[in-house]
Amino acid sequence: MRYLILLMCLVGLCLWPTTLSLKICAFNVQSFGEAKANNKKVMAILTKIIARCDLCLIQEVRDSKGEAIPKLVKNLNKFDKSHSYAHLESKRLGKTTYKEQYVYIYRKDVLEVRDHYSLQEGGSNYTSLFTREPFIIRVHSPSTLVKDLVLVGQHTCPKNAMKEIEELYGVYTEISKKWKTQNVMFLGDLNAACSYITIKGWRAIRLRNDPKFHWLIGDEVDTTVRENTHCAYDRLTLLILV
């Protein structure tokens, strides 16, 4: 996301015509912390947007006190009494003093979180290509044909976007071995457009060129809210083998 709080990537994941759909969202709220949590207008907008989703990945959570997300979830449960909302957050991630968290907010009466982890660095001689390691969760959805799905939340560093997106293919390989599944969705602000990704760069990205992966948000889509930009920074990439 490039400005304020009004961007959301939303997909209705209809896994079978006779079953319920699953709405999965990714939302870069841009420096979500104490100030926005105390702004009633901002919180009202956020609450209405997230209440449209069965699960929403929140990015750029920057709240050292850890109070903003619980307040948002509390608002959701008051606003939408037809569902029960819970959340799962990563550690504060970043290679410098600048840190962010990923947070999944989900309807616990619709989904069950079975497992989760953040990608770990390999050792003292290994330097991760990720500025913020992906936050990975495995969810169970009893009402859809695909019962189990792995979600990989990622917010890339703009200047390293091509390298980080390419590295996600290795993350997929690790997940498929760890959890014996190929039902995987990558979601988040990948900075996957405009000046951050070149045509030559796309050709080197396996996640883009492997036909098994479906990019649900195309290059022509504008996922920003500024009038002077038209870029598909935010993506949802899906591999489902029923």
- Per-residue pLDDT of 60-97, as tens digits, reads 999 999 999 999 999 999 999 999 999 999 999 998 99
Total domains in the chain come to: 1
Q: Examine residue 99 and state whether it is found in any structural domain, yes or no.
A: yes
Q: Residue 15 and residue 241: Cα distance in Å, rounded?
A: 11
Q: What are phi and psi of 47, to 5 degrees?
A: -60, -45
Contact 100, 69 (CB under 8 A): no
- What are 180-223's pLDDT values in tens digits? 999 999 999 998 878 888 888 888 899 999 999 998 887 788 88
- What average pLDDT does the structure give for the chain? 86
Full-prediction pTM beyond 0.75?
A: yes
Please state whether beta strands 184-189 and 148-153 pair in parallel, antiparallel, or not at all (unpaired): parallel
In a domain, 4, yes or no: no
Residue 4 is predicted with a pLDDT of 30
100 in active site? yes
Strand partners, 187: 153, 236
Mention every residue, 6+ apart, whose C-beta is less than 8 A from residue 33: 61, 62, 63, 64, 68
Q: Active site residue: 60, 89, 133, 155, which one? A: 155
Q: Edge to edge, what strands does the sheet with 112-118 contain?
A: 112-118, 135-140, 148-153, 184-189, 234-239, 214-215
Q: Which of 60, 89, 100, 167 is catalytic?
A: 100
Of the CA atoms within 13 Å of residue 205, those in its CB half-sphere come to 21
Domain residues for 226?
9-239
Residue 1 belongs to a domain: no
Residue 76: CATH number of its domain: 3.60.10.10
Residue 73 lies in a domain: yes
Residue 3 inside a domain? The answer is no
Give the number of residues written for the chain.
242
Residue 2 domain-assigned?
no
pLDDT value at position 122?
43
Active site (annotated) includes residue 155: yes
Sheet holding 22-32, edge to edge: 9-13, 22-32, 55-61, 101-107, 85-89
Q: Is residue 151 a part of any domain in this protein?
A: yes
